[in-house]
Amino acid sequence: MTDTVDTPPTPFGRNPRHFGIDPSDAWPDDVPKDQDDTHWRYEGDPKGARKAERRIAAAWTVTMLASVGLAVVYVDGANNVLAGLCWGLAFGGLGIGMLLWARDLMPGHDVIASRGHHNVSSEADRVAVAESLGRGLDPMARRPFLFKMLGAVGGVFGIAIAFPIASLGPRPQRNLFKTAWGKGVRAVTLDGKPVRPSDLPYNGILTVFPETNVHDALAPTLLLNLGNLTNETPPERVGWNIPIDGKTGIIAVSKICTHAGCPASLYNVVTHQLVCPCHYSTFDVLQICKPIFGPAPRGLPQLPLAVDAEGYIVAQADYSSAGGGPVGPGFWNRG
Amino acid sequence: MSTTEERMSAQKRMRLARSGTDTVDERLGSSKFLTSVLDKIFPDHWSFMVGEIAMDSLIVLIITGIYLALFYVPSSKEVVYAPTSGHVYIPLVGQRMSEAYQSVINISFNVRFGLIMRQAHHWAALIFLAAVFFHMARIFFTGAFRKPREMNWIIGLLLWQIVALEGFTGYSLPDDLLSGTGLRVIYSIVESIPFVGTWLVYALWGGRFPGTSLIPRLFVVHEFLFPLLIIGLLTAHLMILWHQKHTDFPGPGKTETNIRGSRIWPQYALKAGGLMMLVAAVIFLLAGFVQINPVWIYGPYHPYTISAGAQPDWYLGWQDGAVRLWPHFEFRSFGHEIANPFFPGLLMPGILLNIMFAWPWIDKKIYKDYGPHNLLDRPRDKPFRTGVGVAAVVFFVVLTMASGSDILANNLHVSYEAIIVILDYLAVLGPLAGFVIAYKACQRLSQTDFHPIQRPVGGVIYRTPDGGYHTVGDVHHGPSHDVPADAGANGGHNGTASHAEGHVDETVPAPTAGD
């Protein structure tokens, strides 16, 4: 099969012999001479042919019955299972009938024919096309300045016509680093009710939103009541929890997974782990939501909490780098 | 013999056909071309139908898709579900949802035959992608991508990518909880691209996730841009196939310069039409009997909700699986970072895809075979290529399993962590093992010429030192397949004839009587 590699270079490159033939030679005639493709399967068997005809008719009868069935199903409330059955039988009967007709009563199988051409042109044609191309290339080569200028025009104009793309969206701005949380912003449930520390039982978990904008997709936050469990608090995060009876009490972490942004909303109260069901990143709540399994590279950021004068839970500030922010998955200039 | 009446009616038909073809010919001079079209021959091997199945699914997709587009509302506008007429899906009443999601609920419950069209559309997409993968594997393992068909390999790979994206955009249009979660992951993957990630997501989504621009944009892309590309590339794919003529396996009477099979008219036209009808039948039976993507159960998407068991459609499972298996690594330096999802979500598939694009040229280098081919390789005769293909398939399967790792853990009663660790090892070692096993198996099969699912034909022909021949192991007793005594020397254009006819080995000394 590799009989062409070692021959010296020719106008046809490394493959002077296409399919083992010199392209300037005639295509070989290796088609059997006595072929007769007018025969069909039941040609000499009228009984078999009649049976075949009946089989095809039966298949197409199924199609007709199923079509009537479709109309009935449609009028009678369009039951999905019956509709699928009728559509399937209608298409199936039609297709099987066609296949049987081709197989049993139609001529034209098992024919051998020549592929008929080299799929490559003669040397003269190749020279001709190169010359036609050269008719334009040579004058261009005589004007190198214009040719180079055309390249520059393409670059400059190319940038200019790309500008409509800029309208698709705003410049990425600082709002990837910010959420609607801020100093004194109340934590509310989905229906806008503010939350008191006493609303969360021990081991309780609650999704809350900033009162100022419950639709902020980066803001959903989990309130967790850890009771008297010890949460490893680094010095810069002291006072971010709402103590209950002098113990750890309630902490707040971002619900948005730092891996791919899904809500990390499965809470295992036995092991105190938060799991994101998208790719199963697992965070240990007792180690300030450090990732302990799965692809998430960073912990869930923590939101500093306080209680306002009316006894409702509020944020001390927005998510910050001290708390492991900004919220959500990583990006190039996250810093 | 035919009666006079029959001859008369045959002549009448001929006159009728003539008047038709002549009418066209007088305008276009097309008779010679039309003859070549009607007489054209396609080979008959069953594996050559798989590409057709892909095309047939595409036709079902286009027709059902146009129907669905007449009812779908591409809008992110928030509404409260309170249908005014027709059937009501009670559990959703009073819920906030996008207009897009509401319109899909309406198609499912309030448009007669809307649900069957939706389910047929989704099933057809899954079958389309399955056929694309199978077709691609067939091309790879049999070496059909070799010269002169490299161009169609490239176009095919582009088609696979666009078809997968088309599938994903369609999956996202209902704006249900599952697809919204998928979009969130894609947003994070695009956002993780170095330098331009945030610019790209802000351009695509029109701002921060989720925004209100994406659903209408997805609709334009899914309805117009990608279908246009698919139809354009498929046209080129088929025109090139038509011009180059189909490849075929080596076999009796087949050479590099001829082609054996059925004529387009009437054999192939009827067979291909029949196959298209059968593909449609299977799709609609599935659409009727097997529920798919019940978005009313998933509920509308909100960025703060999610459910366990969140998997993409199967053809994207390998990428989702890679994102699950990739360790908690990301690159951080000089105040910048390349975030975790970039590596498994874009870098790994990108590298693999580039290798696939380059494969025809890598293959040339490996086998030092720069010549054109119309006859296919049998996979066993190219152990290295087959090994690489098997390794790729194993990798694909392991990653797809990883995409369902939570479901696996649940059903096998194994801890989730254990499943991930096992799959991590499998993703590295599985392809290596697959390569070695396939390589060795190919070598052995090639030596023995034993066919795993067919009875061997012929046997081993030995030439004795004194010039005589005898055959060992010929267990074939069916209709005679002549084994020419000079099977190794039959024809200048047919170097592979010996594959089909039995193995000729001139170096092995004559076996003793005990063999």
Q: Is A263 on the interface with B (CB under 8 A)?
A: yes
Mutation site, A29, A331, A333, A334, interface B, largest B CB count within 10 A = A331
Window 233-262 of A, Cβ < 8 Å to B:
255-256, 259-262
pLDDT tens digits, one per residue of A130-150: 999 999 988 888 999 998 999
The pLDDT of B303-315, averaged and rounded, is: 89
pLDDT greater than 90 at residue A84: yes
Closest CA to B306 of A181, A205, A69, A279: A279
pLDDT the model gives residue B413: 94
Which residue in A115, A163, A253 has the most chain B C-beta atoms within 10 A of its own C-beta, making it the best mutation to test that interface? Answer: A115
Chain B hits for A293, CB-CB cut-off 8 Å, are 417, 420
Element (H, E) at A305: strand A305-307
Judged against a pLDDT cut of 60, whether residue A8 lies above it is answered with no
- B86 touching A (Cβ < 8 Å): no
- In the chain, the amino acid numbered B504 is V
Between helix B383-403 and helix B348-367 the angle, nearest 10°, is: 170
Q: Which of these CATH numbers, 1.20.810.10, 3.40.50.11710, 3.40.640.10, 3.30.160.270, describes B46-249+259-309?
A: 1.20.810.10
Checking if the pLDDT of A89 tops 90, the result is: yes
Shortest CA distance from B252: residue in chain A: A112
Please tell me the predicted confidence (pLDDT) of residue A10.
46
DSSP-derived secondary structure letter, B465: T
DSSP letter at B499 equals: H
Whether residue B504 has pLDDT greater than 60: no
**A319: pLDDT strictly greater than 60:** yes
Question: B514 to chain A, minimum CA–CA distance in Å?
Answer: 36
Residue B297 at interface with chain A, using a CB cutoff of 8 Å: no
Going by their DSSP bridges, the two strands B460-463 and B503-505 should be labelled as: parallel
B2: pLDDT confidence band, cut at 50, 70 and 90? low
Instruction: Determine which of A278, A289, A290, A298 to mutate to test the interface with B (most B C-beta atoms within 10 Å).
Output: A278
Q: Which residue of A259, A276, A289 to mutate against B (max B Cβ within 10 Å)?
A: A259
Which segments of chain A does DSSP mark as H helices, in order? 46-75, 80-105, 123-141, 144-161, 163-166
Q: Per-residue confidence at B19, pLDDT binned at 50, 70, 90?
A: very high
Instruction: Compare CB distances from A113 to B193, B259, B373 and report the shortest one's residue.
Output: B259
SS3 assignment, position B180: helix
Specify the long-range contacts of residues A275-279, CB closer than 8 Å, at least 24 apart.
Answer: A276/B306, A277/B306, A277/B307, A277/B308, A277/B309, A277/B310, A277/B406, A278/B181, A278/B184, A278/B185, A278/B306, A278/B310, A279/B185, A279/B320, A279/B323, A279/B324
Mean pLDDT of chain B: 88
First to last CA, chain A: 58
- Rounded mean pLDDT, A313-325: 92
Q: Is the CB of residue A195 less than 8 Å from the CB of residue A312?
A: yes
Res. A1 pLDDT band, cuts 50 70 90: very low
pLDDT of residue B465: 79
Tell how strand B460-463 and strand B336-338 pair up: unpaired
Q: What average pLDDT score do residues B170-186 get?
A: 95
AA letter at B305: T
For position A18, what pLDDT does the model report?
A: 61
If you compute the radius of gyration of chain A from its CA atoms, what whole number of angstroms results?
Answer: 38
pLDDT grade for B479, boundaries at 50, 70 and 90: very low
Residue B483 pLDDT greater than 60, yes or no: no
Q: Measured between beta carbons, which residues in chain B are less than 8 angstroms from residue A276?
A: 306
pLDDT reading at B77 higher than 50: yes
CATH (one of 3.40.50.2000, 3.30.1330.10, 2.102.10.10, 3.40.50.720) for A187-323: 2.102.10.10
pLDDT in tens, B243-270: 999 999 988 788 888 899 999 999 999 9
Say if residue B499's pLDDT is above 80: no
Instruction: Identify any residues that bridge with A250 across adjacent strands, giving them in sequence order.
Output: A225, A242
Percent share of chain B, pLDDT over 70: 88
From B335, which residue of chain A is nearest by alpha-carbon distance? A335
Question: What local confidence, expressed as pLDDT, does residue B334 receive?
Answer: 82
Per-residue confidence (pLDDT) for residue A273, from 0 to 100 = 94
Using CB atoms, pick whichever of A108, A280, A331 lies closest to residue B263. Answer: A108
**A166-192, pLDDT tens digit by residue?**
899 998 877 788 899 999 999 999 889
Question: Is residue B162 scored above 90 in pLDDT?
Answer: yes
Residue B496 pLDDT: 39
| DSSP string over A238-292 | TT-SEEETTEEEEEEEESB-TTT--B--EEETTTTEEE-TTT--EEEGGGTTEEE
Q: Is the pLDDT of residue B489 over 70?
A: no
List chain B residues with CB under 8 Å of A112: 253-254, 258-260
- Kindly give the residue spans of alpha helices, DSSP state H, lying in B71-113: 99-109
Which whole number is the average pLDDT over B393-404? 96
Report whether B162 contacts B182 (CB < 8 A). no
Q: Using one digit for the tens of pLDDT, what is the confidence trace for B426-465?
A: 999 999 999 999 999 999 888 876 666 555 555 667 777 7
ipTM: 0.90
Cα–Cα dist B191/B470, whole Å: 69
pLDDT band at residue B492 under the 50/70/90 scheme: very low
pLDDT of residue B335: 82
* A107 chain-B contacts, CB cut-off 8 A: 266-267
Q: The pTM is what? A: 0.89
- For residue A22, count other CB atoms closer than 10 A to its CB: 12
Residue A222 confidence (pLDDT) above 90:
yes
Q: What is the mean pLDDT of residues A216-233?
A: 89
Q: CB–CB of A313/A242 below 8 Å? A: yes
Predicted local confidence at residue B22, as pLDDT: 94
pLDDT at residue B60, rounded to an integer: 98
Rounded-to-integer distance, Cα B96 and Cα B352, Å: 42
A95 and B329 within 8 Å at the Cβ level: the answer is no
Average of pLDDT values for B345-369?
A: 96
Average pLDDT over residues B227-240: 97
Mean pLDDT of B34-63: 95
Minimal-distance CA residue of chain B relative to A335: B335
CA B332 – CA B340 distance, rounded (Å): 10
Decide if pLDDT at A266 tops 70: yes
pLDDT band at residue B502 using 50, 70 and 90 as cut-offs: very low
Look at residue A175 in the predicted model and tell me its pLDDT: 78
Share of chain A above pLDDT 90, in %: 64
Number of A–B residue contacts, CB under 8 Å: 325
- Domain residues of chain B, as ranges? 4-39, 46-249+259-309
Q: Hey, is the C-beta of A88 within 8 angstroms of any chain B C-beta?
A: yes
pLDDT band at B471 (very low <50, low <70, confident <90, very high): low
C-alpha distances out from residue B285 to A87, A152, A263, B110, B281, Å: 7, 59, 37, 21, 6
Separation of alpha carbons A256 and A263, rounded Å: 5
Chain B residues closer than 8 Å to A335 by CB? 335-336
Q: Which residue has the higher pLDDT, B402 or B503?
A: B402
Residues 6 or more apart whose CB falls under 8 angstroms from that of B180 comprise B172, B210, B301, B302, B303
- CA geometry: angle B411, B412, B415, nearest 5 deg: 105
pLDDT of residue B395: 97
First to last CA, chain B: 58
Instruction: Please tell me the predicted confidence (pLDDT) of residue B254.
Output: 86
pLDDT over 70 (residue B476): no
Domain residues of chain A, as ranges? 46-105, 124-166, 187-323
Q: Which residues in chain B (368-407) have CB-CB distances under 8 A to chain A?
A: 368-374, 405-406
CA–CA distance, B75 with B100 (Å, rounded to integer): 5
Question: What pLDDT was estimated at residue B226?
Answer: 98
If you compute the radius of gyration of chain B from its CA atoms, what whole number of angstroms results? 28
Measured in whole angstroms, how far is the alpha carbon of residue B394 from the centre of its chain? 16
